[in-house]
Each structure stands twice: as structure tokens, then as C-alpha cells.
Amino acid sequence: MATTTGYMTVDERGYTDLHEHIEELRAKGLLIEIDREINKDTEMHPLVRWQFRGGIDEEDRKAFLFTNITDSKGRKYDIPVLVCGLAGNQKIYQLGMRCDLKDLKNTWINAINNPLEPNMVPDGDAPCHDLVFEGEDLLNGNGLDAIPVPISSPGWDNAPYFSSSHFITKDPHTGIQNMGNYRGMVKAPTRLGMNPSTELRTGGYMHWLEWKKLGKPMPVAVVIGAPPVVSFTAVQKVPEKLDELAVSGGLAGAPLNVTRCKTVDLIVPAESEIVIEGFVSTELLEPEAPFGESHGHVNLQEYNAYIDITAITRRKKSIMTSWVSQVTPSESGTIKRPAYEARQIEHLRDHLGIKGIKHVSTHEPLTSLHKLIIVVVERGVPRTEIWRAMYGVASLRQAEGKWIICVNEDIDPDDTDAVFWAMSYRCKPHNDVEILKHKHEGHGPRSLLDSEDSAVLIDATLKETFPPVSLPKREFMEKAKEIWEELGLPKLKPKAPWFGYDMGEWNTGLEAMARRAVKSEYWTTGQIIAQRRRGDVPINTEIRTLDMGNPGAGDDVDENLTWDKLEDASQVKDKDK
């Protein structure tokens, strides 16, 4: 691990810290700054929540920076709070990632496969150690009571909770660190809750089990506010052999600056805004919650771990982040989604060797990424590979994938209407649906009736040729769009499919008739089809099922044929006027 000094510029670092990120949000018009007094316990999250539940388009959501914060007791706080500042929408997320939206998945896959060892910042040079509070200082107004942690779901949550809290722990045997994002209940100025996910087998939980075997408390550092690439990595599920801080470097394309904690033997990002240090008891657990969770329901009270705090360090003019989670769409969902999808694509494409994988989409609204997963494949992928892909999605993580649907690339996986369209017309349940039993119940309200769950796998891909999609061809829709815009009509937001396209059942004869129609020469077609009358077939007989030696009416007809020519050639007996 190399050594460098702190307080570098963004060009020297290769990534932005939180302050620089906020400046970029401001410059791009993506930041709303709230200077009026806001109660963190009753008003802050409800205010921001409206942009997710009030019909605001995703592209119009913003980051919120609160600078005049109080609580219901009238206490004032001098630490601003940034809400939705990392992933209020995809533009904000893209800004923090410093890459184009189209490159996100490959950037993630490259970071996981090519982590960069961080640079060590000497003690005293790290910005996160500008202010250090230990011992009695923590009990004199410099503990958790100095940090304006908001209540996420007023009326349900039993306390303020850190929602963007990155818990750093390490394996006591290998020394490999893990960084995971868990909720943290504020319990006292020097006591903080810790709720690692047991069903997802998070590193923090696995490390806690190992420290428990040793009969020792587990050292922990909780990072609140950090360079965006650090926060994005904290929610990713990477192999246990990897340190997320090295993956953050891979994500940035430059080594991350880190420093050692003051009271625990752990390494944290040097540009962290706030770091909470302490030890987690491995002997005792405490009641924790209720708290609104990201599966969209209140998580009822349960026993969880807690931290005895030994130090809190801060940057000068530190800024706290708080994520809007709970019911999706949400900030936490937008943060997690690209990383989750990248891991699934890598698993199917690179580990299982499945060809033709175009995309994996984890559905966010209300379902929160874990339950409904849509696999997009090229047309013509063998049926065996389609099923292998769906089983692969179900197997990557034990609690992921309850409804797994495979579609072709003409279906927009983010448009549930389009997905249901594919399920309705490209899927026959008796052939194309399988139930995978004995799945883990996963993230969500726990059932007291049945602790197991299952998964439904649905093949909604095309198995044969289909007629075209019955919308005007692209050229006509594009021309109409130009007229729409000339008329000053409301801004269009095209929703696929927005033009018709062939799905294999179109031929030259049908195309010839359609071309004549748009040239207003459809009377010609009427005369042509009149000569093909017959009385030996039932009504609704499809032309394509008959061996006529001519699969499409009109494909052998001269495009320049006129009424006069038809009459002169005696090709029809009567003219329908």
C-alpha cells in the first residue's frame, strides 16, 4: 500500500469527495438548497419523499441540501444533511460515478475484476481526522447527539436511524476488511445499533460470527458521508476475498486514499465526512426497531447488535448524508441497481458462459430490486440456455429472484406493460413456467406460517415467428414527431414500442400491399385480391396455412399495374366502385 498526503485536488485523486460532488450538483442544476428551518424528526424525509410519491418524473428529481436543521426539542445542528445527493435519479448517480450511463455496467464489472490497492494517508493528514472526539468529549455534546440523524418514517420508526452508514469490519483470521451498508439506530450519545443482513450473508455478519467464536468484541468503523465511489461500493455484494475499498479504487480508476482509525485497527476512506469508531458486543444483543425497511413494510422489533462508541472523527465543515430508502422507487434503490445488475450479468455471461445475454433488469418500484428480475436475451438463444440463465439468476444469491422472467431484446424490461405483453402472447404456462421450491424467504416481512419461499421462472421469449407489431413504421412515426414538435405540443417521452417492426411473418407480397396503401393506391390491391376468391375454405382460414405456391397476396404483381391495365388484361370481371 503506497503512502500519500491528504487534501489533494480531484485531478490528483481521480475521484470527487462529497464536497466536490455537491459543487458539481449545484453547477448542473441538480441541487435544491433548503435554508429555511426544517425539523429532522418530522419534516425532512417526508419533504424529500414527495418527489418519489408525488408523480415527479425520475429525470426531474433532485438532491436536497438542508442547512438549517432542528429537532422537535428546538435543538439546532451545525452539520448540513444531504438527501438524495448520490442517487436521487440516474443523472445524479452518473455524476458521482464520473462515467456515461451506458458504460455503468461494464465499469462495475471492470472494478470488481480489477481492484486497486488504496493509498495510505499518514496520521494527521487525513481530512476525516480534522476533529477527533474521544472519552469524556463524547459525553459533552460531541457524541451522536451532535449529528442531525433524521427519522426516515415519522409515525413508525422508534428513533433516528443512519441510513447511509457504511460499516467497516474485518475477518479476525485473514485481516480482509468488508464494507457494507446497514441501518444504525441512534440509542445514546455513545451507543449505536447495527443490523447486518443475515439472509444476504453480509460480510459484517460473517465477521461478527468469527469474532464471537473468539469470545472477543468486534472492532467496527462506521463511515457517514464519503466520496461517491465509496458509497456506491458499500451497497455492492462483492466476493468475500475482496476489500470494497480496493473495489472503490477500481471504480474510480485510481487508488482510494485511506487512513487508520484512532481507536480501532481498521482502515477508512481518508475523505470520509464522519467516522464512528467502536466495538460490537458478541455476547449480548439489544432490541431494535420498528423501522421502515426497503422492502416497503415496517420491520418490527427484533434483537440486533450494538456498538459501544470509542471515538467520533469528523472533517471540518462536515456534511452528513441520509438516503431515502423504504418504499421504492427510492435513492437507495437507484444506488444499488446498477451494481446488482452488473453482478448478475457477469455471473451469467462470464461465470456460466451463457451466450446471448443482453441485459438483466432488477425491478425497483415497490419490489425493491430483489424479487422481480427480468433477463433479456437475443432472439434465437437456445431454449436450454434460456432456462440455464433463469436458474443462474436464482442461484447467485440465496434470497434473490422470486419472479424471474426471460424476454427478447425488443421488450423494455423497465416497462411492466411490455413485460406483461410478452407474458400474455409469447408464453404458454403449461410449457414455459417452472416453480423452483425451497428458496430462502429473503428480504421482506417474515412469515410466521412458512419460513420457506419459492421462485417462478417464466420463459416469455418468442418461440416462433410472429406478425409485425401493429404500430406505424418508424419512418412515419418520426415524421409525425416532427409535426408534433412544430405544433408546440407537450414534450414527447417515447415509450417502447413506439413504432411497428417485423417479427418474422412479413413477406414481399404483404410489403408490396402496404407500400401501395401509403401511396393511396389501395384500390389496386382490392382488385388483385378479388381474383383470388375461392369457396373451398372455412372463414378465418389463414392464407399462410394454405399451399398456394404464393405465400403473400400481391408479391408477384407489377407495382406499376393500373386500373386500365387490369381491365385490358381482363384480370378482373367486375370493378368495385
Provide the CATH topology of domain 10-321.
Pnp Oxidase; Chain A (2.30.110)
Distance between CA atoms of 338 and 350, rounded to whole angstroms?
A: 17
Q: pTM for the whole thing? A: 0.85
Which residues make up the CATH 3.40.1670.10 domain(s) of the chain? Answer: 352-459
Asked if residues 123 and 260 have their Cβ atoms less than 8 Å apart, the reply is yes
pLDDT at 515: 95
CATH of domain 352-459: 3.40.1670.10
Query: Rg (Cα) of the chain, in Å, rounded?
Result: 30
> Grid coordinates representing 233?
461500493
| Positions of the chain with pLDDT under 70 | 2-7, 199-201, 547-577
The closest of 79, 85, 76, 113 to 25, measured between CA atoms, is 85
Distance between CA atoms of 204 and 143, rounded to whole angstroms?
A: 23
Residues contacting 82, CB < 8 A, separation 6+: 18, 22, 63, 64, 65, 66, 225, 319, 320, 321, 322
Distance between CA atoms of 406 and 86, rounded to whole angstroms?
A: 31
Distance between CA atoms of 290 and 285, rounded to whole angstroms?
A: 16
Q: Considering Cα of 256, then 258, then 264, then 265, what sign does the dihedral take? A: positive
Which residues make up the CATH 2.30.110.10 domain(s) of the chain? Answer: 10-321
Give the strand pairing for 131-134 and 119-120. unpaired
- The one-letter amino acid code at 382 reads P
pLDDT at 2: 61
Ordered strands of the 452-459 beta sheet: 357-362, 372-377, 403-408, 452-459, 433-440
> Grid coordinates representing 321?
448524508
Q: Where are the beta strands (DSSP E) in 417-561?
A: 433-440, 452-459
Phi, psi values for residue 530, rounded to 5° = -65, -30
Distance between CA atoms of 155 and 146, rounded to whole angstroms?
A: 23
pLDDT at 554: 42
Ordered strands of the 38-39 beta sheet: 38-39, 69-70, 76-77
Cα dihedral angle (441, 446, 448, 452), rounded to 10 degrees?
A: 0
> Grid coordinates representing 198?
443475515
Ordered strands of the 31-34 beta sheet: 31-34, 63-66, 81-83, 320-322
> Grid coordinates representing 51?
418527489
